[in-house]
Amino acid sequence: MNENNQAASRPKILAHRECRIGPVQCGPRTISLVVPCYNEEEMLPITISELYGFLSECVAEGLAGADSEIILVDDGSRDRTWELISRAAEEHSAIRGLKLSRNRGHQNALLAGLEKAEGDFIISLDADLQDDINVIKDMIRAAENGMDIALGVRKKRETDSPFKRLSAEGFYKLMSFLKVNLVYNHADFRGLSRRAVAALMEYKEVNLFLRGIIPELGFPTVLIYYDRKERAAGETKYPLRKMLSFAWQGVTSFSTFPLKFVSFLGLLMATGSLAVVAWALSVHFFTDNAIPGWTSTVVPLLFTSGVQLLGLGIIGEYLGKMYLETKRRPRYFIEKTTDDESRTKP
Ligand code: UDP
Ligand code: MG
């Protein structure tokens, strides 16, 4: 069965695409909730029941179309995450699961879910439900008012550890200094229209940093502020190492400032060394103590070689990125989906 047949086989109560009156859409939009999950066995039972209850409520209130869906993406988990997803999909036809062939990281898992989503308005959120799901209703209303992009923005960071708070603030300050267009305190809790998702799919980069790409799309955007809760179960899947590498990804994927900074440093060193040469010559010609000291030779030598190495390192960092990008490697593989599983069942 191909993709189209598959979509057609799912119940469609309101065929609102056929009942458009001019630009106005009749009937509520179908909503897709996309949730990346990595080792979330502790959290998933709560998440699934809350999200399912919430989506049913949205449908009952006329905010979401009857064929709205929840897409759970298993990002190569090593625990019972897929088992739980697969069982939930059996119980509720509105729940669909994707299993990536291995752990590809939050951003790729999210993208896989966005690509598979069939809704008119597609909302991404984390599996730990730290983001207030009631904000989703505001996102849907924003979509009804013609917005393509609704970004959830955290009001405060008091539920974070002091370290996470400080490092996040430092990161956003650094990014704004580097002139990278980021929305302060917006992570990956957002709603996107179909055309915004289609535009996002045009970005083929392997080093994904979605929150940097979204502001570049430029469709009508609204910011919705909310309070973020603490994780109810399980632990963060973003330890320090992953967080730092994600931040570095953000810097090097969107800014060439570090490269320019190295050139600037090189220029500074070169002009500085001219002054040293002038000083050495003046000592040589106008004084009697012109024995060149070991320190004055070795120290600049070490310093300049250090700067050169730093420069090479940063250039190498970008070169590595270009290397990966030019290969155009696939960003993920879907091992199986709950749609396949339900089809193969007798
Ligand atoms: N996640 C993922 N793949 C990874 C790491 C995380 O899909 O390699 C998911 C995780 O299951 C969660 C979301 O990304 O739904 C955010 O992770 P987490 O809540 O641990 O991050 P934090 O809120 O601590 O920044
Ligand atoms: Mg979290």
pLDDT of residue 152: 97
Q: Is 76 in the pocket of ligand 1 (CB under 6 A)?
A: no
Instruction: Give the number of whichever ligand sits closest to the CA of residue 130.
Output: 2
- Report the nearest atom of ligand 1 relative to the CA of 110: 7
Residue nearest to atom 14 of ligand 1 (CA): 106
pLDDT of residue 109: 97
Q: 126 C-alpha vs ligand 1 centroid, how far in Å?
A: 6
| Sign of the torsion angle spanned by Cα atoms 90, 96, 102, 103 | negative
Element (H, E) at 279: helix 257-286
Element (H, E) at 166: helix 162-177
The rounded distance, in Å, linking the Cα atoms of 326 and 82 is 33
pLDDT of residue 252: 86
Residue in this structure with the two tokens 């984390």, named with its chain if needed: 126
Question: In the β-sheet with 95-100, what is the strand arrangement from edge to edge?
Answer: 221-226, 149-154, 186-193, 121-124, 31-37, 69-74, 95-100, 334-337
- Report the nearest atom of ligand 1 relative to the CA of 126: 15
Q: What is the pLDDT along the chain (346 residues), one digit of tens a residue?
A: 344 444 444 444 344 444 444 445 567 899 999 999 999 999 999 999 999 999 999 999 999 999 999 999 999 999 999 999 999 999 999 999 999 999 999 999 999 999 999 999 999 999 999 999 999 999 999 999 999 999 999 998 777 888 888 888 899 999 999 888 899 999 999 999 999 999 999 999 888 899 999 999 999 999 999 998 888 888 888 888 888 988 998 888 888 888 878 878 877 877 777 777 777 777 777 877 766 666 677 667 777 877 887 888 888 888 888 878 887 788 899 999 998 888 776 6
pLDDT of residue 294: 64
pLDDT of residue 17: 45
Indicate the burial class of 214 (C-beta count within 10 angstroms; 0-12, 13-18, 19 or more).
buried
pLDDT of residue 15: 40
Q: Is 96 in the pocket of ligand 1 (CB under 6 A)?
A: no
- Report the nearest atom of ligand 1 relative to the CA of 73: 7
